[in-house]
Chain A
Amino acid sequence: MKTIKSFLLAGALIVAAGTAFTSCDVNTTTVMFAEDHNLTSARDTVYSVLGIINKLQMLADQTVLLGEVRGDLVTTALEFNEGEDFTALGKLANFEQGDDTTYNNYSNYYAVINNCNYFISRANEDLMSHQQSIFLKEIAVVKAYRAWMYLQLAKIYGTVPFYTEPLLSYSDIQAVANDPTNRKGMKDICTWLIEDLKPYVEVSTPSYSSFTYGDNVTIDSRLFFFPIKLVLGDLYLWKGTYTSEADDYAKAAQYYRDYLYENEKLASSTFAIKYTTDQFLGINFNSWRSQFSQITSADRIAVIPMALKAAYGRTSNVSSIFSSKLVSSPQLDDLSDSTFYCYASNTTEFSLIRDSIYTSTWYNYTYTPGELAYTRGDLRLDGSCMSNLSGTKGGRFITKQNASNPHVTIYRTGIVYYRLAEAINRAGFPITAFTMLKYGLSTGNLIKYDKNGEYARLKASGYTFFDLGDNQNIGLHAKGCGNTEMDALHYSFPTINVVTPTISDSIDAVENLICNENAFESAFEGQRFFDLMRMSIRRNDPSFLASRIARRNHPNASDSEIQATALYQKLLNTSNWYLPMIDK
């Protein structure tokens, strides 16, 4: 019996000790487990937000290339006829990417979304320190990132899985991936996100001071954040595209204007390219080019920060791809050729006029009667790529994406102004939009060039999106075409070739102007395909997009020739505008 006892005792000891030792948890400092990552201090928020920006860096190049290569303003450099990269770009340009995932990695967008969702779900907005909410600013910018991401997804992929809670387990992921009911298209996405973002519209962005992105070069961290008003503007602009509600466009315009007005962002002559003589000899490119080469440019609003060289972090290949593998399209040259630069030799007359409808607002304007000189071409094209020496159209190497500024620009004032014009036009105010293009958006100009009582309608609309005060804005067209405001010969409100033109006809016509005009402003920045897409969709006219893209290398072809191309036919089917979501 004694033996049995000791036997059992030993057994019990072993089991007891074994149980004691099983608490074999391991601590680590290398990784942070989801359950420990609670976001309870200000430090957590900084590193988490930077983590989200790390993920943003992954999709920066892809975002630009998907928006540009598929558009009508660039084409692949034929010199680069070998190598995988060319193949990937070439396939993309011709909508034949198939299952090539070089630039089609949808997971990168969701990487940002999932991290944003995590942040939003864990960060406590009510946590206060020194009477300030610790997380409010970060929650706002993270929500803006998330909104922008879904907007990209909807633009690139159409209807996409939409979720707002973090996916932290395989089963969560499978549930979202396999559930067809959580798919949302652009309209629903915009509707949801607008409500999500609205409460944060007045929250200011955080500042993490400056970051070094290369040897002795720094960037202000405030540029990392996407302004909520601009994201809201985009959401309404896209929503309106699907709802055709003038009110959505008006709201888009309002948010764009509010941002521009409050931040004193101007479409001023500072950013215009001008001939220095009426003989069209010298050109001062500097004002234009410095916007892209200098990170401190006042025109820049938000970027995805990238490192200048690999030693400093993730780098972008955008500038090297644009400068070596892509060239301007013949179509872009053709568009430029169809414009006229207007040189006014003197501008002497200057006066002040009081607003006659509402008092208290004063404005100024300029005009010059006198001899005008004209030449063809919008200077922004030459400002954005190498000049064309060969005499043939297209084929210019692109310099706009400048290697000294490695960041990928997401919002730039120049482009926001075009969206504002687009939104105002679609809100039902084509004359206002045209005034923006030709004279510059200011109350004085609106009054001066008012027609059909549009200004009164504007005033009565309850919106103030037309009111940028008495500013120094010039016409958007003037940024590359000189004294547009003087140009009555080549740049005037489009004539509508129908018997009884409606306002809708005018709107379409002004939008055509905006579309062509915007090509010079936003070329090579990854906007074009989506701009064409938006306009096509709202007109319910796939050929709007298809004809332009099919024409990119054949500017002189007849319409019937373009319509016969495989590319045109393919693009008539809107489902071909969207990429497949590939898991591999």
Chain B
Amino acid sequence: MKKILYSLSLLLLIAATGLSAFAQNSPAKPLAKKIILLEYNGVVIDEATGKAIQGAIIHATGEKRYSSMTKVDGSFSIKVPSYTGQITCQVPGYNDVQTHLTKVMKKISIHMFPENFKTDYPEQTKTTNSNSTDNFSTISALTIEEKIATDLGADVRSLQRSANPAQGSALFIGGFNSLNANSQPLFVVDGVIWDTQSNRSLMHDGYFNNVLSAISVNDIEKVTVVKNATALYGSKGGNGVILIDTKRFKSMATRIDVTLSTGVETMPNLPSMMNDSQYRLYATDLIGNSNSSADYLDDLTKDKQKYATYHNKTDWTDYTYRNALTQNYGVNVQGGDEIAGYNLSVGYVNAQSTLVSNDFSRLNLRFNTDVNIAQNVTSMLNIAYSNTTRDLRDEGAPSDYSSSTVLSPGFLSLIKAPILNPYQFDAEGALTPTLADNDRYFGLANPVSIQKNGEASNKNRLKYNLFSLNIIPKWQINKSMFLSEQFSYLLNNITERYFLPDEGVPTFLVDGYDAILNESKVMSSMQTSLYSDTRFGWNKTLSANKINVFGGFRYMRDVYQQDGIVVNNTASDKMPDITSTYDNRKVQGVNEGWASTALYMNADYNYAEKYFLQGTVTTETSTRFGKNATGGIKLSNYVWAIFPSIQGTWVVSAEPFFQNIKGIDYLKLNAGFDQSGNDDIDCFASRTYFSSESFLNQTAGLSLTNIGNDQLKWETTSRATAGLEINLLNNRIGVTANIFQSKTNDLLTYKTLSGVSGLRTYLCNEGALKNTGFDVSARVKMLNSKTFQWELGASVGHYKNEITSLPEVSYTTKLYGAEVLTKVGQPAGVFYGYQTQGIFTTTEEAIAANLKNGSVEGKSFRAGDVHFVNQNTDNVIDASDKVIIGNPNPDLYGNLFNRFSYKNFTLNVVFNYSLGNDIYNYQRSQLEAGSNYFNQTTALVNRWSYEGQQTSLPRATYGDPIGNSRFSDRWIEDGSYLRMKSLTLSYQIPITNTYLQGITLWGTANNLWTLTKYLGNDPEVSMSNRTLYQGIDRGLLSSGRSFILGVNINL
């Protein structure tokens, strides 16, 4: 199959080349036969009023040479070549309409809908499965992912990382196409492939540095999600591609757009935690089986300070969460002349986080120019700079408590005992302004101290700078040929400082030995990316035949360097700067470089805008490939992977037989097959290497660290797609549907290496998985009158993922207490643990079940314990009773939207939803474990506490010796939801004068309403971009409701 495809694609390219040669043989004479023109008549009317439209431009679709214009009565007459199947009508203020021709004698009637509706026809017929969104004028989003989630929710599954400002989302196109390598789409910004550092780690737990946050949404013209035919991107396109185009100069008239908005986000949804008296009871219950002394429960003490210290009613979240303010300013200036055009934009955002001490500010500049250097020589020059500053603290529930005390203020504020106070009391029991130290009974830090003592520009601060330079000269050799070069330089620079104060934080041991009082860390990373894309293009139109060929080579070179240092026990919390005197200095570093080169060729052919064929072949080599990788072509020392694509499209409605068909305005079918890859291979895994390890803190020893797999290669994703696009009832209904099946071979997996090597794992390409799915979107123009338009739409996406082969049949990965099973025949990321069937409410029940924990000699489960399902009738609850208990993959996901337009008002409501996905609620498993002095949710008020009590929550026992809170389906929840993602009302003030082109006032409310059974803060969770980490909720900040008011002024 693969071979056939290669041959086909190559044939296509040869044919294209041959055709061009053939075409050039006798340039003097037109080769084509004389074109027969046919005349058609019709009328163009406004759909709402039924009135004729004068001055509408009609042309043969894709052929503006054959055009006409409507008269006063809306009628037109157009002569088009006999092979023409469709005509396009364009009227300012209305959406373009394409319509198929009727019989010559019949009159064509074209109904125009105003621009308030979504466009029905793109400028060019799409031959690939892609979808795009544009017009970001009334939008409050700080990063583009939000827009992708609201507008392209079925094309991309989007999961917000954290509601800290501009953290963006993890995005998945067409399921999971990799297990261990990068699973995020490729981002191509203004034609340049970006490395979005999606699997790099930072020092603040729970934080992800989102490279896309460097681009202001106000600067973006258009975002396109490319779901197939990504062969052009070679070994980088396997996860799909997202194209981001920034705004460029359009017309010479100077245009200034000013956008100002300000908003407030309310506190996020938080679990309902026990109050002081509930907690007091709970703690007493726990003491029953632990040896702690109960000083804090002493209500009768005479010691006023002690009494005051342990008799508070503190809701700690009052100190860590708040309503947050956001300001966003942007100016965009566009203008130019015949020599040069420019688009300059400047923006500034200051966004508070609802989680105290996590604020964000960003300054961004972008200067895009288009210059005519000489006749036929043009160049674009783009310069962009963005500077981000963040205040940061650890976030979310930690994965375990062995290596550190809890340091995340947000999570601390949930688990901290409500009977305590953030401030100290004096001997008389009066509150002082001094922050309380960590409490000695419960061993938890004072979150307010972590916030306040960690506050300084040299303590918990992240600075992120992104600079990009993009030069694209282009030589139009003649009418049909060009040669262009795109050169880009990208500098990504992060400096992160982390400081954990001593005050208010318990001393903890690292490696069971070193007592840590405070900790200071600094990390800086720099990535420079060079990109060069040299391209030659040629196009030709020969009567109904159109061909467009381009080919070239692409070269990318990256260097990533990261240096970090950690020290402990600095002299005081006031001195976080790292000097050589501190304890436990540990340094770490990454120094990686890689490069890749690709040669590509792409040919688009269409006959009469009816039959489209697109073929692409890319061959790519990378320093990350092993030098003996198989499956490619070996030239000199490099192995070149080959990625073909072939896509065919048939506009059925352009066929003559369609001329009689009524009700269907447009029908397009397409099918294709393509391959693309994933080259996110550990930089040096293909080579055998030595690395250094610190030796007695003084020097380093060099030893063998990796056995290179010189056959290591890219993962290959082969994707077959088919789709249709249909517009019905005078374009009132539009439906797009696509189905796909993809198979990823040569998955990068780890294999156990024989111990005789002295090493344990080996990266290899032994695994495969597949995804099958579809996406459908539909829009209906419900009502269209002169002043009022109503449009409804919905989209739905689906995929089914299945691992089809692995080097070892199955394995589990332990993540946040969960076990994630990777097994042939199962989807990626399924949860593997114990099933439960309620609890034993009576001793009788427990005796009847006669279950032991761990082994035959293990402890018996008793009344109040969870009734774990004994899968194998041995009456022992052990590892053999684990089963698959959840699947993080959704059945369906997508958007619903509803838009009303009334005169100058527009009301736009967008919903997003996900159905059938499971979430492992790790945060809840910590808040309802009933095993330690962490404050618990109010659900635990109803914990089992007496014989016969009917409840679903087990007894509370210190340390949970029987394992009631182990990883089980107790913590797996249905993550389905429907959410009103955004509601936007905008009003365009009807003024125009020389200086003022227009003013739009708008207001947006986000996350107004969510329908879900999920018990966590937010059913949209993502704690990592990695495939196996999906569906785990570690309690990262969730979104509150936000309300934004904005004004756009066009000068």
* Interface magnitude class on chain A: 35 or more
In Å, the complex CA distance between A55 and B754 comes to 17
Pick from B599, B689, B693, B707: contact of A173, CB under 8 Å: B707
| Min CB gap A54→B, angstroms | 4
Whether B757 and A27, one on each chain, are in contact in the complex, defined by CB atoms closer than 8 angstroms, is no
Taking the closest CB of chain B, its distance from the CB of A7, in whole angstroms, is: 6
Is A3 touching B585 in the complex (CB atoms < 8 A)? Answer: no
A206 near B: Cβ within 8 Å?
no
B703 within 8 A of A: yes
- Across the A-B interface, how many residue pairs have beta carbons closer than 8 Å? 231
A213 contacts chain B at the CB level, 8 A cutoff? yes
Contact residues in A for B709 (Cβ distance below 8 Å): 170
Find the residue from A11, A110, A167, A320 having the highest chain B CB count within 10 A.
A167
Verify if B21 is at the interface (C-beta below 8 Å from A): yes
Determine whether the beta carbon of B513 is less than 8 Å from that of A169.
no
Interface stretch (choices A44-52, A485-493, A517-525, A543-551): A44-52
Does B536 contact A54, Cβ atoms closer than 8 Å? no
Chain A residues contacting B753 (CB-CB under 8 Å) are: 170, 173, 583
B875 at the A interface (CB under 8 A): no
Binds A, one of B63-71, B552-560, B1023-1031: B552-560
Check: A161 CB closer than 8 A to any chain B CB: yes
A164 to B536, CA, bound (A): 56
Give chain A nearest CB distance to B220 CB in angstroms: 31
With a cutoff of 8 Å between Cβ atoms, the chain B residues found around residue A51 in the complex are: 690, 692-693, 695, 700-704
Give a binary string over B754-771; 1 marks a CB under 8 Å from any A CB, 0 the rest.
111111101000000000
Complex contacts, B555 vs chain A, CB 8 Å: 21, 24
Counting CB contacts under 8 A, is B691 at the interface? yes
Contact stretch, chosen from A310-318, A375-383, A419-427, A507-515: A310-318
Residues of the B chain whose Cβ atoms lie less than 8 Å from the Cβ of A25 = 595, 623
Q: Which residues of A contact B442 (CB under 8 A)?
A: none
Contact B684 A28 (CB under 8 A): yes
CB distance from A279 to the nearest CB of B (A): 43
| Residue numbers in A under 8 Å from B590 (CB-CB) | 30
* Chain B 575-605 per-residue mask, 1 if CB under 8 angstroms from chain A, else 0: 0000000011110011111111101000000
Q: Which listed residue, B585, B592, B701, B752, touches A54 by the CB 8 Å rule?
A: B701
Q: How far is the CA of A163 from the CA of B757 in the complex (A)?
A: 10
A37 interface contact, C-beta 8 A = yes
List A contacts of B564 (CB < 8 A).
none
B694 to chain A: which residues have CB within 8 Å? 313
Q: How far is the CA of A24 from the CA of B584 in the complex (A)?
A: 39
Complex contact A176–B483 (CB within 8 A): no
| CB-CB nearest in chain B for A107 | B755
Kindly state the separation between the CA atoms of A581 and B757 in the bound complex, as whole angstroms.
13
- Residue in B478, B585, B591, B757 with the greatest tally of chain A CB atoms within 10 Å: B757
**A15 interface residue per 8 A CB criterion:** yes
Interface size class of B (residues with CB under 8 A): 35 or more
- Find out whether the CB atom of B688 lies under 8 angstroms from the CB atom of A33: yes
Within 8 Å CB of B708, what residues of A? 34, 168-169
Determine if A14 and B599 form an interchain contact, defined as CB atoms under 8 angstroms apart.
yes
Binds B, one of A113-121, A262-270, A359-367, A451-459: A113-121
Chain B residues, Cβ within 8 Å of A110:
755-758
Instruction: State the Cβ distance, B171 to closest chain A Cβ, in Å.
Output: 29
**B432 proximal to A (CB < 8 A):** no
Q: Which residues of A contact B599 (CB under 8 A)?
A: 14-15, 18
- Given A14-B553, A55-B703: A173 touches B754 (CB 8 Å cut-off): yes
Residues in B with CB closer than 8 Å to A312 are 696-697
Using CB atoms, name the residue of chain B closest to A48.
Answer: B702
- The CA of A30 and the CA of B563, in the complex, are separated in Å by 11
A69 within 8 A of B: no
In the assembled complex, B1051 has its CB within 8 A of some CB on chain A:
no
Is A281 interfacial (CB 8 A cutoff)?
A: no
Q: Give the distance in Å from the alpha carbon of A54 to the alpha carbon of B698 in the complex.
A: 13
Task: Answer yes or no: B54 CB below 8 A from chain A CBs.
Answer: no
Query: Does A392 have its Cβ within 8 Å of any Cβ on chain B?
Result: no
- Which of chain A's residues has its CB closest to B697's CB? A312
B754 & A112 in contact (Cβ 8 Å cutoff): no
Q: Closest A-chain residue to B706, C-beta based?
A: A31
Question: A7 touching B690 by the CB < 8 A rule?
Answer: no
Query: Cβ of B756 and Cβ of A7 under 8 Å apart?
Result: no
**B-contact bits for A559-584, CB 8 A (1 contact / 0 none):** 00000000000000000000001111
Residues of chain B lying within 8 A (CB to CB) of residue A174: 754
Contact B754 A105 (CB under 8 A): no
Residue A26, interface by CB 8 Å: yes
CA distance A17 to B513 in the complex (A): 58
B962 → A minimal CB distance (Å): 13
Report chain A residues within 8 Å CB of B683: 26, 28
A498 is an interface residue with CB less than 8 A from chain B: no
Binary interface encoding of chain B residues 146-176 relative to chain A, with 1 for a CB under 8 A from any of its CBs, else 0: 0000000000000000000000000000000
**Chain B, range 661-713, C-beta contacts under 8 Å to A:** 683-684, 687-710
Q: Which of B623, B690, B755 contacts A37 (CB 8 A)?
A: B690
Interface residues of A in 8-41 (CB under 8 A from B): 10-11, 13-15, 17-18, 21-22, 24-34, 37
Tell me if B338 is interfacial: C-beta within 8 Å of chain A: no
Q: Are B534 and A14 in contact (CB under 8 A)?
A: yes
Minimum C-beta distance from A310 to chain B (A): 4
Interface centre among A14, A46, A168 (most CB of B within 10 A): A14
Q: Which residues between 107 and 159 of chain A lie within 8 Å of chain B, taking CB atoms?
A: 107-115, 118
A166 CB → nearest B CB, Å: 8
Structural contact, B557 and A34, CB atoms closer than 8 A: no
Q: Indicate whether A31 sits within 8 Å of B538 (C-beta atoms), given known contacts A3-B24, A161-B756, A173-B753.
A: no
Is B477 engaged at the interface, CB distance under 8 Å to the other chain? yes
Contact present for A313 and B696 (CB under 8 Å): yes
Also in contact, A32 and B702, with CB within 8 A (given A47-B692, A107-B758, A167-B757): yes
Are A211 and B689 in contact (CB-based, < 8 A)?
A: no
Q: Would you call B123 an interface residue if the criterion is a C-beta within 8 Å of the partner chain's C-beta atoms?
A: no
**Would A52 and B684 be within 8 Å (CB), given that A161-B756, A177-B754, A310-B510 are in contact?**
no
User: Which residue of the partner chain A has the closest CB to B693?
Assistant: A54
Q: Chain A residues near B844: list those with CB within 8 A.
A: none
- Determine the residue in chain A with the shortest Cβ distance to B753: A173
In the complex, which residues of chain B have a beta carbon less than 8 angstroms from the beta carbon of A169?
A: 688, 707-708, 710
- In the complex, A295 has a CB within 8 A of chain B: no
A111 → chain B closest CB, angstroms:
3
A106 touches B (CB below 8 Å): yes
Q: A47-B700, A309-B514 are in contact. Are A28 and B596 (CB under 8 A)?
A: no
**Chain B hits for A14, CB < 8 A:** 534, 536, 551-553, 599
> In whole angstroms, how far apart are the Cα atoms of A305 and B622 in the complex?
42
Enumerate chain B residues within 8 angstroms of A305, measured Cβ to Cβ: 696
Decide yes or no whether B372 CB sits under 8 A from chain A: no
The answer to whether A583 and B754 touch across the interface, beta carbons within 8 angstroms, is: yes
Across the interface, name the chain A residue whose C-beta is closest to B755. Answer: A107
Query: CB-CB < 8 A to B299: which residues of A?
Result: none
Find out whether the CB atom of A311 lies under 8 angstroms from the CB atom of B586.
Answer: yes
Asked if A52 and B755 sit within 8 Å, CB to CB, the answer is: no
Q: Which 10 A-B pairs have the closest CB atoms?
A: A111-B758, A107-B755, A51-B703, A50-B701, A24-B595, A51-B701, A311-B584, A177-B754, A310-B511, A18-B553
A-B contact pairs, 29 of them (CB 8 A): A3-B20, A13-B536, A15-B599, A18-B597, A21-B597, A22-B638, A24-B597, A26-B594, A26-B595, A26-B683, A30-B684, A33-B687, A33-B689, A34-B687, A47-B702, A110-B755, A110-B758, A111-B757, A113-B758, A114-B756, A115-B704, A118-B704, A166-B704, A173-B707, A173-B753, A211-B698, A309-B511, A312-B697, A583-B755
- Which residues from chain A sit less than 8 Å from chain B, CB to CB? 1, 3-4, 6-7, 10-11, 13-15, 17-18, 21-22, 24-34, 37, 44, 46-55, 105-115, 118, 161, 163, 166-170, 173-174, 176-177, 211-213, 305, 307, 309-313, 315, 320, 581-584
- Other than the given A24-B557, A33-B688, 16 more pairs (CB < 8 A) read A4-B24, A7-B17, A17-B553, A24-B596, A33-B684, A46-B699, A55-B758, A107-B757, A169-B708, A173-B756, A173-B757, A177-B754, A213-B697, A310-B514, A313-B694, A313-B697
